[in-house]
Amino acid sequence: MLAEVRDGLGLSSATAGLLTSLPVLAFAVVGASAPWLARTIGLHRVLFLSLVSVVAGLALRAVVHDQVLFLALTLLAVAGMACANVLAPSLVKLHFPDRIGTATALYTTAMALGLTLALMGTVPISDALGSWRYGLGSWALLAALAALPWIGLLAHDRHPEARAATITFGQVARTRLGWALAAFFGVQSAIAYTMFGWFAQLWRDNGYSATQAGVFVGIIAAVGIPLSLVLPNLVARVRDQRPLMLAVMACYPVAFLGLLVLPDRLAVLWALLCGVGGMTFPLILVLISLRARTPEGTAALSGFTQSVGYLIAAPGPFVVGLVHGTTDGWTWPLVLMLALLVPLVALGAYVGRPAYLEDQLTPRRQPAG
């Protein structure tokens, strides 16, 4: 619905690029504060408040007509998503320390299902109700339903132990593992948000209808539903994750080259391959849990990886939008995405090796006396 949103609000190409970059910007800014919020307010309270932000942002942005307000409310919604997403690996490590793969598989599958429903359902809902505003705003109802189970947990909230503060953002920043995970997360997020933000428009520009384009992007997300049930468990069971990660990432160059050469044909095949390549997202979430020995280590590593990673990713969709607008085509944006695969593979080969955050930490200096 990006074209309709741009027309309805009068967004320029640069502003549309900013809109597609807002999720990664929010994850970068909010992600660093999520572990502190959890220690201060409580894990379950933070999750509930995050979902309230999502409901408010999605519902209110559907009725405003001002560009700045629309962007601000979008930022509110994705900030709530960012906070919840950063804390999810910590919750898994805390509540399911012996079933990391299974628990991660369940929630990443739910994420893939929700993403698929949104991508495939927004255009039909908009068409049925007569406006893109209904198509975007309707997902606030799903967010409200998602918030309900957390109400029962508020009275029995869990605060991460105070010793979580012994692993700081700065300490993680002094580890090779922290930066490698953050960079890998950033590159894969740049690719993923570019696909979800721009590929529908790519297919529309190559002769497909808005509904068809939405279905193709929905296929990218739908691939994650069955694979998210299998891959996290498989990754958690093997000691060296590099072969599996390289096999997943190998689907990306085939898909991008296919879109470069045959953008108006075989759309389903390219979408399927993009979807398999996109499994780097649940894989990195499992690795965050596997690369720390404790829940507090996982929380610190997750906060650093996702906040710094999303900061790295933020220019991706924005730059692709600018390149597309400048060249009035998709050749150079796809060449740019192919270039991003070089650091993605190199970083994946590094973070796939067995290692632990705590083994690379530099102890903080204690005050004299």
d(CA 287, CA 284): 5
In sequence order, what are the residues at sequence separation of 6 or more whose Cβ sits closer than 8 angstroms to the Cβ of residue 124?
211
Burial class (CB in 10 A: 0-12, 13-18, 19+), 268: exposed
What is the DSSP code (8-state) at residue 167?
S
C-alpha count within 13 angstroms, C-beta hemisphere, residue 321: 26
Domain membership of residue 364 (yes or no) is no
User: Residue 218 is inside which H or E element, if any?
Assistant: helix 210-222
Does residue 54 sit within a domain? yes
If one counts the domains in the chain, the total is: 1
Q: How far is CA 80 from CA 53, 158, 202, in A?
A: 5, 19, 29
Domain carrying residue 335: 2-357
* 362 within domain boundaries: no
Q: What is the pTM of this model?
A: 0.73
Q: What is the Cα–Cα distance from 257 to 341, expressed in whole angstroms?
A: 12
Query: Cα separations (Å) of 347 from 221, 249, 363?
Result: 23, 11, 26
Q: How many CB atoms lie within 10 A of CB 12?
A: 12
- pLDDT recorded at residue 248: 93
pLDDT at 367: 44
Q: Closest by alpha carbon to 42, among 99, 79, 81, 83?
A: 83
Query: Is residue 32 situated within a structural domain?
Result: yes
Q: How distant is the alpha carbon of residue 321 from its chain centre?
A: 19
The CATH number of residue 139's host domain is 1.20.1250.20
- CB of 235 within 8 A of CB of 181? no
Question: Strand ranges (DSSP E) for the chain?
Answer: none
On whether residue 366 sits in a domain, the answer given is: no
Handedness of CA 333, 337, 342, 347 (dihedral sign): positive
- Residue 159 is predicted with a pLDDT of 59
Residues 6 or more apart from 88 whose CB is under 8 A from it? 107, 285, 302
Model pLDDT, residue 369: 41
CA separation for the pair 33, 47 (Å, rounded):
13
20 located within any domain? yes
Name the CA radius of gyration of the chain, rounded. 20
Alpha-carbon torsion 30, 88, 113, 324, what sign?
A: positive
Q: Is residue 367 part of a domain?
A: no
Scored b (16 or more CB within 10 A) or e, 166-179 reads: ebbbebbeebebbb
Asked if residues 118 and 224 have their Cβ atoms less than 8 Å apart, the reply is no
Given a contact cutoff of 8 angstroms between Cβ atoms, the answer to whether 103 and 235 are in contact is: no
Give CA angle at 355 (247, 238), nearest 5°.
45
Asked if residue 187 lies in contact with residue 344, where contact means CB atoms within 8 angstroms, the answer is yes
Say how far apart CA 110 and CA 128 lie, in whole Å.
26
Spell out the per-residue pLDDT of the chain, length 369, in tens.
777 888 888 888 778 777 877 777 777 777 677 777 877 888 888 888 999 999 999 999 999 888 889 988 998 998 898 888 878 877 777 778 778 778 877 887 888 788 778 877 888 898 888 888 998 899 999 899 989 988 887 776 765 554 444 677 788 888 999 999 999 999 998 999 899 888 988 999 998 988 888 889 889 988 888 887 788 778 878 888 888 999 999 999 999 999 999 988 899 999 999 999 999 988 888 888 888 887 778 878 888 888 888 888 878 888 888 898 888 889 999 999 999 999 999 999 999 888 888 888 766 544 444
pLDDT for 363: 60
Q: From CA 310, how far away is CA 27, in angstroms rounded?
A: 6
- Assess if residue 353 is contained within a domain: yes
